[in-house]
A and B are shown apart, each in its own frame.
Chain A
Amino acid sequence: MPDSTVIGLHHEDEHHPELLHHFADAQQQRDSASLGMWVFLATEVMFFGGLFCAYLVYRHWYFPDFAAASKSIDATLGATNTAVLICSSLTVVLAVWAAQTARRTLLIVSLILTMLLGMAFLGIKGIEYREKFVEHHVPGASFSFDKVQVPGHPDQYANPHHAQIFFSLYFVMTGLHALHMIIGLGIFLWLLIMAWKGRFTPEWHTPVEIGGLYWHFVDIVWIYLFPLLYLIDRHP
């Protein structure tokens, strides 16, 4: 009976319950999972790439207006948020390392710290958005950007229509990034519950690795958003 030979092979090859049958070993299963995640991240590069492309074209056309609009955003808040995300990336690699080396407490603490830093990022982002609402810099009916000087040209005012394009890109790009952060927080909450239940072992901690890759990618997107949106022509 062919069936009995298959079952027989099974029994002599004792393996971790999380190792799926079509993989040779745990390492190959981990490699396949992270490769799949990288393919997904490649599609995310294209997704954000379209927005970066639109940004570059309009920045090229309306550079003085973009510079004036960029100057109205608080660069210190942006820099703080960059530092917050970099710290969260550190706690993510610590979480992955803790899972690899079976350190449950460090894993749980790292996951909680990552989530706290992620929420701090969103909180700072909220303060920034609030400022933009108060200043009527949100694109739409109440948008106003009158008599704002172009940096380096005291006699020249920024064109409000062009500035509105900057703020549209600002809200879409940071908003989409913030949406990724919120999804990331959901993923990390799930990882935290799994870690709490002791599901992760050095043999199987694929979700921690994959979730980590996602979080780092979102960090990289912000690494580019920060100089592009906050630091156009800042110098006096």
Chain B
Amino acid sequence: MSEHSNSAHAKSPLKMYFSIWAALLICTYITYKAAFIELGSFNAAVALGIATLKATLVALFFMHVWHASEKLTKLVVIAALFFLLLLLGLTMTDYATRPWS
């Protein structure tokens, strides 16, 4: 396990860090510009889609989930997301469908 991480540290990750940083700034610019274009209900979808892409990039590469030597880290991340989606998803299936009754 330690040999693996040593080899991962050996090659410089700086290029990757700067690429992710540039991608995050470009995504922010696109979110900002897209918000002023009429897309109907897709405005929210585009904004949240880009936000999720940015959050995924930060978690995977800046927070090192992708190269985590401890596999349990991924389990904790997935568990947190699962319970968050359970909270938001089940709440909204109630509130968003009330007008139907």
Contacts and interface: CB of A to CB of B under 8 A. Distances in A.
Interface residues of B, number: 50
B32 A53 contact: no
Contacts of B88: 49, 52-53, 56
B79 A227 contact: no
Interface string A72-100: 00010001001100110110111001001
Interface of B: 1-2, 5, 9, 13-14, 17-18, 21, 24-25, 28-29, 31-32, 35-39, 43-44, 47-48, 50-51, 54-55, 58-59, 62-63, 68-70, 72-73, 76-77, 79-81, 83-84, 87-88, 91-92, 95-96
Given A53-B87, A56-B88, A227-B48, A27 B76 contact: no
Interface stretch (A129-137, A153-161, A170-178, A215-223): A215-223
B61 to A, nearest CB: 8
Q: Which DSSP category, helix, strand, loop or mixed, fits chain B's interface?
A: helix
B28 A82 contact: yes
A153 to B, nearest CB: 14
- From A38, A82, A212, name the one whose CB has the most chain B CB atoms within 10 angstroms: A38
A94 to B, nearest CB: 7
A224 B96 CA distance: 21
A45 B28 contact: no
A169 interface: no
Contact of A35 (B36, B39, B44, B72): B72
Contacts of A94: 14, 17
Interface string A114-151: 00000000000000000000000000000000000000
